[in-house]
Amino acid sequence: MSDEVQKNLKVAVVGYGHLGKWHCEKVSESLKASLEVIVDPLSASREKARVGHPGVKVLSRLDELRSVDINAAIVVVPTSFHFEVVQYFLERGVSVFCEKPLVSKLSDAYRLRDIINEKGGTLQVGHSERFHQIWEKRESFEKFLDGPAIIRLDRLAVSKGRAKDVDVVQDLMIHDLDLINYLIDEKPYALRAWGCKMVDDKWDSVTAELKFSSGKVAFLTSARHYVEEKRFLSATNSRGSLLVDLLNHKLKVSESSEECDGEFVIRDETYDKRDHLKLEQELFYSSILDGKKVVVGLEEGLYAVKLVDRILESSASDQEINI
């Protein structure tokens, strides 16, 4: 089948910053979609887009899209603009893949729910950490997440000068809030959070404690002016310990072994690095073309925003918050 026959979707990418550039490249490589237009309000970004994608229309405003035939959009603008851009496309019947977090305010997430309930449509949220290959093997280690367990998710980054419009909770911790929801079949009933602000009025380092009825507790720490990059999940319970290094794609497990007379033995393995953006995009296209369920939909995106809202409330009040 020729590429022309297969490329059924005409895609607009809104935002040509660091991540938007990568999204445009993945669209261009896809056999299911063609990159029709790039939208960015900044002249410097539009010039880079023209150089990187000659032949693709480059516009400065959403209202200029009225003359362009598209049926899917990828939203990669700063978080504070997510709602208005996603709303624009959903109200026009265009399927949307929005990078995380879905929106910056919980009230806006509920407004998007109302739009979809009224008009229908496809909305996928870009929670890319779900796509690590290791999660496909989680049946082999999920026992360390069961019952009363102590779980840690650390996501520490050096200064990069991006996502200045939001707190570190929306910028980085959002990844791990979605991972908790994805990996654990239980919702927390309460949380407490604390942190510090290093540059302006936005939180730059935050730790959140999530409590579960089963007795497990999860500590999430995110920082964006740290001395080095670290991303890991660890868990300890009565059966042993687990460590997943999400940056270096390694797994370590410590558990007692009958072969070693009950002594604790450490085993480790590596897993393949995958192109998360490509996987997310292809699943997005399949949900439109084949009617498959959206891999990360509105409700999951909304729930992550709800947790962000509660964590920011707790950080500001220095109080435990019921969820």
Mapped onto helix, strand or coil, the DSSP state of residue 69 is coil
What distance in Å separates the CA atoms of residue 27 and residue 9, rounded to the nearest whole number?
10
Give the pair of three-digit tokens for residue 309.
Answer: 């809202």
Q: What is the pLDDT of residue 260?
A: 66
Q: What is the pLDDT of residue 263?
A: 80
Least confident window among 47-51, 84-88, 196-200: 196-200
How high does pLDDT run on average in the chain? 94
Q: What is the pLDDT of residue 97?
A: 98
Higher-confidence residue of 1 and 243: namely: 243
* pTM score, whole prediction: 0.93
What distance in Å separates the CA atoms of residue 53 and residue 36, rounded to the nearest whole number?
10
Rounded to 5 degrees, what are φ and ψ at 35? -80, 110
pLDDT tens digits along 105-160: 999 999 999 999 999 999 999 999 999 999 999 999 999 999 999 999 999 999 88
Residue 188: half-sphere exposure toward Cβ, Cα within 13 Å: 30
In this prediction, residues 246-268 reach a mean pLDDT of 85
What distance in Å separates the CA atoms of residue 170 and residue 177, rounded to the nearest whole number?
10
pLDDT tens digits along 202-214: 999 999 999 999 9
In this prediction, residues 244-248 reach a mean pLDDT of 97
Q: How far is CA 250 from CA 88, 155, 157, 173, 233, in A?
A: 41, 15, 19, 21, 11
pLDDT tens digits along 224-233: 999 999 999 9
Q: How far is CA 222 from CA 98, 118, 263, in A?
A: 22, 37, 34
What distance in Å separates the CA atoms of residue 82 and residue 105, rounded to the nearest whole number?
10
Nearest to 132 by CA among 244, 219, 240, 283: 244
User: Could you tell me the pLDDT band of residue 275, with boundaries at 50, 70 and 90?
Assistant: very high
What distance in Å separates the CA atoms of residue 226 and residue 159, rounded to the nearest whole number?
7
DSSP lists the bridge partners of residue 273 as: none
The domains of the chain, with CATH numbers, are: 3-128+276-294 (3.40.50.720), 130-273+307-322 (3.30.360.10)
Q: What is the pLDDT of residue 241?
A: 96
Q: Is the pLDDT of residue 2 over 60?
A: no
User: Could you tell me the pLDDT band of residue 166, with boundaries at 50, 70 and 90?
Assistant: confident
